[in-house]
Structure 1
């Protein structure tokens, strides 16, 4: 399992916007293929919380079902138009 967490809070708004746009596009593709109803899309809720790396580490240890094998910072995307 891979979990993507911004390495420096707060996460860049443009990166969050890009990820939300990609998710929206994928969900609308599922609607156009008849695999998902528009009603389900409109009821979809995506709460966001950005834990620090230390918080994430503590959560994983407290859960006890997972190990952290490696934590690498994400590479930041360059601004659009470059």
Structure 2
């Protein structure tokens, strides 16, 4: 793989698989998969399956919106 490939789950882009030697690095573009950011996988398909499993475990697949959850309070900044 020479170029980054978009990872979609349920028709929505959630991450990019970026080349990292003979592996791919998971680069999250949605907060719902932030926990996987930076992980290395053997293939794009493996990274896609990891995203699907992760989102399914959070209940973010099958009728629920991806990327529409509440803003995490640990990232909030007091004004």
* TM interval, short-chain normalised: under 0.3
Structure with the greater alpha carbon radius of gyration: 1
Greater strand fraction, Structure 1 or Structure 2 = 2
In the superposition, the TM-score normalised over structure 2's length comes to 0.27
In the superposition, the TM-score normalised over structure 1's length comes to 0.26
Higher relative contact order (CA 8 A, sep 6+): 1
